Chains A and B, each alone.
Chain A
């Protein structure tokens, strides 16, 4: 059977090229791998190889021809049982049988999708926190204990759950979050890793792909930058790239944000980084109850979760309901304090700052509503917008840089979806836009504090 040789596309963007030179002539015998011609693309001169055996029957496009469209028949190869001289060139109109760009069946380069065809899933109402039955005993727990209890409870329930990271086992945790876990669960399930973040993040991610439920602790999220490829490229994208075949139920957890006097490399909030990535769940709790309930939910989630804690909050105590199974919904913000004059949106350690500011504002006759986002992705925009509709004024308090921050995202949400409710511009109260300095006075100047939040709230309520 005669084989039509067509002008090949030799790069993802090539649509036509120049047939620079034929290296065979009619009647030549060729075998697989022989170079037939040289073709110039927009990027390079490429050799065009034969993948079949046969005899060159007809050269249809002469060398030196420019602008030969991809898919045009350039030569005919006679098969084993044919006489090359019998081969006829195809009629001129057939010579350009370029693959048409027909949606659903054609070639795929540069096609524009029709947005009207796309049925974007509507956001659903989010689950609320389960009711705590009346008479439930409340206990005081530090955030550190709450996190440990969450892991221990989930490890008791599910053999697939294990904890790995630097100093998590014998040292009992660099920040003592994993204290006692080795004693209860043994070295098979509480695993000290070498200092090798990229490697163990990959091993944790791979173990999740293999059906386990790893909790990977980073001593701090600053060190997770060495591992961010696995968090994003391996964990977040695999379910999508595999058409839903490959789950990756891993939790990456550890302290995030500014600690105390440790300088620039150990002090950064990665919330906005991870929250920008589809395929990830990002949680950043403030108090002990949320830390426990959301970490348990994170470990049970079938999706990869980045769980951002804060070292400065680890030792703070909060009331936690003493329940057999205290699990909270991912993706739901929490109203920490109700108010009617201004909304303060916050998360993680900055919630404490926002609450302090709200107390001071109350003394000045301004009632602030404080929202703890708790989950940064997916973001509970409904709760933000409902509060905005009530107060008409909004400030974001974020312990992190202002540029491309969660605060920036909340501002965008307010502009796009809450514009008609706004009586004042939305203000961001973030850290200063500098690497964190070491000197005590400079560090203090760089970080958000109550006074700045109060000032912003007074500004949007036109008190100043």
Chain B
């Protein structure tokens, strides 16, 4: 688990019978029975490739930022890869929707969207997925039912409630996966949305990506209830406590949660405990935690290393993995070249897309 001594708790899990036990635990119980998804060799390899793509992409984005090619804010997903891949690999992309906050590169890559158009958005180029007008925090792909990429902490949760509302209204069988962080989990509108989502039985999975720090504030310094999965209790929303550093556990939790929602049982609140290796954004000196803490996570809980071990156990040779890494580095390198060399938007783009209609 990624719950570190500096963050929410280091105590061992409480037996369900003790006072203060979480009452809405049916989904958690299902997860406890079988914690890890059993992938085919092909699926496992695909998880590895996708997670590694996110890692290498983000490392490259960090480099480009360092070269001044990416401006403003740039929030990297390094360390959290298992969350997006574990969850989104379980979606039905023909009908389900996804929405997240500003740390959004990984969620887009999880769709298999061309890294070139994502990187070109980061560098503010015309070929970027938002024509260079959104930037790192504001990326969308309505084609894939990915609805952003939102810069205001917590706003994506109510918007996700609206997407879920539309799924239900249209009776399209889809669900909305709405991600937010441990910081956003303290925004009032998150609970306004949970209330309505439960009241109206909306098909939504609320996912708290608990990376232990809201910018520089550790969870225990900001949150009276640090077990975020319990925070739906007031609205009778079942909670799940998931190791977000293990893609197979996340995927297993996704299977359970999505089934529950698709069967018309209303929302689920899932907490994925994870860890961000880098600063909150590129300009964060990260003085609020020790290097040892970060190194401990990297060395002992890294989600990609974990999949590597699973692959080794499945008989995949180290050389094969190196080969894949090389290929991904090349893809990311091409994306970076493209993002650096493709032209900026035409000046006339300044005035386009303000309104859809002509008045």
Contact = CB atoms under 8 A, between A and B. Distances in A.
A207 B200 CA distance: 14
A362 interface: no
A201 B59 CA distance: 37
A104 B68 CA distance: 14
Interface string B104-143: 0000000000000000000110001111111000111110
Contact of A105 (B158, B341, B348, B353): B341
A51 B353 contact: no
Interface residues of A, number: 80
Interface centre among B188, B298, B356 (most CB of A within 10 A): B356
B302 to A, nearest CB: 10
A133 interface: no
Contacts of A378: 359
Contact of A302 (B134, B162, B192, B356): B356
Given A35-B291, A199-B161, A279-B354, A46 B285 contact: yes
Contact of B152 (A104, A234, A279, A331): A234
Contact of B353 (A43, A117, A239): A239
A277 to B, nearest CB: 10
Contacts of A32: 59
Interface residues of B, number: 80
A203 B161 contact: yes
Nearest to A206: B162
Contacts of B166: 206-207, 210-212
A245 interface: yes
B163 A302 contact: no
A202 B155 contact: yes
Interface in A165-192: 188
Interface residue SS majority, chain A: loop
A6 B149 CA distance: 30
B231 to A, nearest CB: 15
B107 to A, nearest CB: 15
Contacts of A105: 340-341, 343-344
B324 to A, nearest CB: 16
B41 to A, nearest CB: 27
B147 interface: yes
Contacts of B124: 108
B196 A200 contact: yes
A303 B353 CA distance: 10
B140 A246 contact: yes
A240 interface: yes
Given A105-B341, A199-B192, A240-B354, A233 B67 contact: no
A119 B165 CA distance: 41
Nearest to A70: B68
A103 B142 contact: no
A263 to B, nearest CB: 25
Contacts of B65: 8-9
Given A9-B67, A117-B347, A207-B162, A331 B359 contact: yes
Contact of B163 (A201, A209, A238, A240): A209
B173 interface: no
A200 B195 CA distance: 11
Interface string B62-82: 110111110111000000000
A375 B359 CA distance: 10
A198 B188 CA distance: 9
B172 to A, nearest CB: 10
Interface string A192-225: 0110101111111111111110100000000000
Contacts of A207: 162-163, 165-166, 169
B196 A209 contact: no
B265 interface: no
18 contacts: A8-B66, A12-B71, A12-B283, A33-B298, A194-B196, A203-B162, A206-B162, A206-B166, A212-B169, A230-B159, A234-B150, A240-B133, A242-B130, A242-B148, A243-B353, A246-B140, A247-B356, A278-B354
Given A198-B189, A202-B155, 18 more contacts: A9-B66, A12-B72, A33-B298, A51-B59, A70-B67, A121-B351, A126-B359, A198-B188, A199-B158, A202-B193, A206-B164, A212-B166, A233-B151, A233-B155, A241-B140, A243-B128, A247-B356, A329-B359
Interface of A: 6-12, 32-33, 35, 43-47, 51, 70-71, 99, 103-105, 107-109, 113-114, 117-121, 124, 126, 162, 188, 193-194, 196, 198-212, 214, 229-230, 233-234, 238-247, 278-279, 281, 301-303, 329-331, 375, 378
Interface of B: 59, 62-63, 65-69, 71-73, 97, 99, 123-124, 128-134, 138-142, 147-152, 155, 157-167, 169-170, 188-189, 192-193, 195-196, 199, 277, 282-283, 285-287, 291, 294-295, 298, 340-341, 343-344, 347-348, 350-359
